[in-house]
Amino acid sequence: MEQSFDKSPRMIIDGLNCAAVTPEQMKRTLDGGVTAMNLTIVRPWAQFTDAMVGLSEHIAAIEAMADLAFIAESVADIERARSERKVAIIMGAQNSLLVEEDLRLLRILHRLGFRILQPTYNERNGFGDGATVEEDKGLTELGYAWVAEMNRLGILIDISHSGYQTCADVVSASAYPVIFSHANARALCDSPRNKPDELIRSVSDIGGVTGAVTWAPALRHAERPTIDDYLDQIEYIANLSGVEHVSFASDMGEGVYASAEDWDTKFGPNGMYPSVTGVLGDWYVFEQRFPNGYESLAHTSRIWDGLVQRGYSEDAVEKIMAGNLLRVFGEIWR
């Protein structure tokens, strides 16, 4: 099949992606002009052994399509991906369960190539509380030690799925910028997965970024969201914290689910997190799980073009779609 890559010099970094690791998906990624992605390389609930098995399978899949993608561990790797028209895959995890409360394993993850980690997913663990925990008690003593070790190693801290107090504690404890890789403003969509204005500002105050996310349940509840709802989120966060502190994230599980039933038991209206997906309207079905107008990573250039149509300069859009994350990566990774 002939590849129809975006021919522009644009760089786009997807702050969180959880799509299939297949040649077909990498081609869609390149068709959308995406240069790099923070890929959820292990499942959020995996303990160390299961995580390593899943990691091995993903590494093998990436190595088998070396003409399309490779694992990136540095900003230079991302720049190389743009010049070679390949996808730079940044290895990330949306939970730190995989270190099993043994911080020595963070060094191993760094050596393996992990560059972005979250302390928690939606639940409580030994480091802190997730976004769906009703009584967020904040970082634990071990959680504070986790922050310090992440800082020391140069792994970027992502607090997208953490509860509000846990987020606030991480921001105050970290010596370096942290990010919401994929979270929207709760002021526009009242979801526990979204963040209040004060937390968004606090992240920007220490040099971090908030990655507005296209995930439909974080955009609108009563009706199926559109790409304009997503652009509204970018604009809101940019106005709140500055255009230098907002980024793009798809959180798109494209090509992952074998059936609608498989999707529904996890992230559908009858899935694992009723406070997030159980409150949505009847529109939220498998066939409409992505925003109208952004149903594939191949459509990502539409977001760039939409921001330009709203009056953003090319320089500002480049910051939002890649430059802001690239700056933070350069400050943290080593």
**What pLDDT was estimated at residue 258?**
79
CA distance 66 to 48: 27
% helix / strand / coil in the chain, to the nearest 5? Answer: 45, 15, 45
**What pLDDT was estimated at residue 259?**
87
- Digits of tens for pLDDT over the chain (334 positions)? 333 334 446 899 999 999 999 999 999 999 999 999 999 999 999 999 999 999 999 999 999 999 999 999 999 999 999 999 999 999 999 999 999 999 999 999 999 999 999 999 999 999 999 999 999 999 999 999 999 999 999 999 999 999 999 999 999 999 999 999 999 999 999 999 999 999 999 999 999 999 999 999 999 999 999 999 999 999 999 999 999 999 999 999 999 987 899 899 889 998 999 999 999 999 999 999 999 999 999 999 999 999 999 999 999 999 999 999 999 999 999 9
* Residues 6+ away with beta carbon under 8 Å from 166: 119, 120, 128, 129, 130, 136, 138, 139, 143, 159
CA distance 14 to 252: 10
CA distance 82 to 33: 9
Q: Do the beta carbons of residue 116 and residue 96 sit within 8 Å? A: no
CA distance 136 to 121: 13
**What pLDDT was estimated at residue 9?**
66
User: Span 13-332: which CATH code?
Assistant: 3.20.20.140
Name the residue ranges covered by the structural domains of the chain: 13-332
Rg, Å, the chain Cα set: 18
Q: Which tokens is 104 given?
A: 């020595």
